[in-house]
């Protein structure tokens, strides 16, 4: 088994140079993305679109985190992580430009689902979120697989 995630993150937090995450960490992070995507679909099927939207966001977030880790990057907040993902991967053409809007919608819908009192996520929006998350996770998986194969 590779190095645990916590020391890797602590090393980054102390300002050490970027170090590519251990393949086991990348695979575990992608497994977490898959778990959240499955939970999103389960919640949708059970009639809980808000929970589905929240899980869809976390699925894409974990996948984005894994790709950034494969580049030796980690961040302490969701906004920093998404911003770095856009700068590092979307703006450079590794992901389609529409990925930025998908990530933003996922983030916004998760905020509504988790924190809003007078607004809620309806089923059509949650279905869009699941589809967006699935596309992001699959694209991230391609990059992670290539990174591990090197």
Residue 17 has what pLDDT? 53
pLDDT in tens, 58-115: 999 999 999 999 988 988 899 999 999 999 999 999 999 899 999 999 999 999 999 9
Domain locations in the chain?
Answer: 23-149
Between the alpha carbon of residue 120 and those of residues 4, 50, 106, 113, 139, the distances in Å are: 37, 7, 14, 6, 29
For the four alpha carbons of 87, 88, 94 and 99, in that order, the dihedral sign comes to negative
23-149 CATH fold: 1.20.120
Closest CA to 2 of 69, 67, 49, 55: 69
Residue 99 has what pLDDT? 95
Residue 13 has what pLDDT? 47
Residue 2: pLDDT band (50, 70, 90) is: very low
Residue 66 has what pLDDT? 94
| Residues 73, 113: Cα–Cα separation, whole Å | 28
Per-residue pLDDT at 15 exceeds 70 = no
- The reported pTM is 0.86
For the four alpha carbons of 14, 90, 42 and 123, in that order, the dihedral sign comes to positive
Residue 76 has what pLDDT? 86
Token representation of residue 98: 């529409």
């Amino acid at each position: 088994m590779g190095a645990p995630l916590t020391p890797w993150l602590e090393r980054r937090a102390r300002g050490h140079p970027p170090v590519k995450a251990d393949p086991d960490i990348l695979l575990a992070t992608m497994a977490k993305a898959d778990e959240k995507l499955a939970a999103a679909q389960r919640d949708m099927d059970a009639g809980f679109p808000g929970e589905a939207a929240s899980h869809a966001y976390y699925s894409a977030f974990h996948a984005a985190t894994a790709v950034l880790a494969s580049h030796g990057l980690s961040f302490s907040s969701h906004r920093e992580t998404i911003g770095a993902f856009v700068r590092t991967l979307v703006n450079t053409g590794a992901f389609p430009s529409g990925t930025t809007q998908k990530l933003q919608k996922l983030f916004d819908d998760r905020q509504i689902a988790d924190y809003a009192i007078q607004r809620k996520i309806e089923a059509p929006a949650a279905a869009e979120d699941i589809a967006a998350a699935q596309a992001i996770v699959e694209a991230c998986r391609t990059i992670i697989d290539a990174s591990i194969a090197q």
